[in-house]
Amino acid sequence: MKKIITMEEAVSHIKDGMTIMIGGFLACGTPHKIVDALIESGVKDLTIIANDTSFVDRGIGKLVVSGQAKRVIVSHIGTNKETGRLMNEGKLEVELVPQGTLAEQVRSGGAGLGGVLTPIGVGTPVAEGKDHLIIDGKTYLLEKALRADVALIYGSKVDEKGNVYYNEATRNFNPLMAMAADAVIVEAQEIVKTGALDPHMVHTPGLFIKYVVKA
């Protein structure tokens, strides 16, 4: 099972209208090279699930600026003024989700769960229109699981089997998104031989990864 592919092939898997997840937190731990290639490719009408829309000139933010996203599901857009502008002009749908809820929704999508029961957001605009469940006297929102057609993640060290190790704060949403898409592509800062990673330091088992592309 050869998983290592070219950037050209990687990008060919993302098609107009797809829902994609992209790892990273304010551009830290984002697969920057794949994002750049997506901009080059011109793929459009994307729904992007990510922590945030980064900055106008970095990472996911570039896909907002280029107009390739029709919808974003994120926890934060404050660092990218273009996201707010396009939203106000009706050119971009923005769904804002509390960060921990977003993390659990993605994890649920990957773990075969129907959704998340969380008290976070009760009594705020986040709760509007959502099912409320009372369990043992406490109120919870039902936040549905999220999945994507493709997840684009970043790994610091990736072996030939797709096992991923994340350095420092680059981990964030990457291991969660790696579980929650029909196809997962990891941009590897470094590709190492199978066996080079200590099995205790594998943060994402290779079985989740379909393709590996060198950064």
Partner 1 sequence: MDVKEIIARRVAKEFSDGDVVNLGIGLPTLVPNYIPEGVEIILHSENGFTGMGPAPSEDNIDMELVNAGGIPVTVIPGASFFDSAMSFAIIRGGHLDATVLGALQVDEEGNLANWMIPGKLVPGMGGAMDLVGGAKKVIVAMTHTAKGEIKILKRCNLPLTGAKKVSKIITEMGVMEVTPKGLVLTEYNPEYTVEQIQEVTDAKLIVSDDLKPMI
Contact set with partner 1 (CB under 8 A): 1, 25-29, 51-52, 74-79, 84, 87, 94, 96, 98-104, 107, 109-113, 118-126, 156, 159-161, 163, 166-176, 179-180, 194-195, 199-200, 202-203, 205-208
Q: Rounded to 5 degrees, what angle do the CA atoms 103, 104, 107 make? A: 90
CA-closest candidate to residue 206, choices 153, 142, 134, 169: 153
**What, of partner 1, a second copy, none, does residue 116 touch, CB below 5 to 8 Å by kind?**
a second copy
* Beta carbons within 8 Å of 172's beta carbon, 6+ residues apart: 23, 24, 25, 28, 29, 51
Nearer to partner 1, 34 or 104 (CB): 104
**What, of partner 1, a second copy, none, does residue 84 touch, CB below 5 to 8 Å by kind?**
partner 1
Residue count (the chain): 215
Binding mask 76-115 for a second copy (x = CB under 8 A): ----------------------------x---x--xxxxx
**Number of other residues whose CB lies within 10 A of the CB of residue 27:** 18
**What, of partner 1, a second copy, none, does residue 144 touch, CB below 5 to 8 Å by kind?**
a second copy
Residue 62, phi then psi, degrees to nearest 5:
-65, -35
Within residues 178-207, the interface with a second copy by CB under 8 A covers 200-201
* Beta carbons within 8 Å of 75's beta carbon, 6+ residues apart: 51, 52, 96, 97, 98, 99, 102
Phi-psi region of 58 (alpha: psi -120 to 50; beta: other; left: phi over 0): beta
Please state, in angstroms and rounded to a whole number, the distance separating the CA atoms of residues 215 and 107.
Answer: 25
* Residue in 165, 173, 208, 211 binding a second copy, rule: CB under 8 A: 165
For residue 1, state whether it binds a second copy (rule: CB under 8 A).
no
Binding mask 122-161 for a second copy (x = CB under 8 A): -----------x-xx-x-x-x-x-----------------
Minimum gap (Å) between residue 15 Cβ and partner 1 = 22
Q: Which residues bind a second copy (CB under 8 A)?
A: 104, 108, 111-120, 133, 135-136, 138, 140, 142, 144, 165-168, 200-201
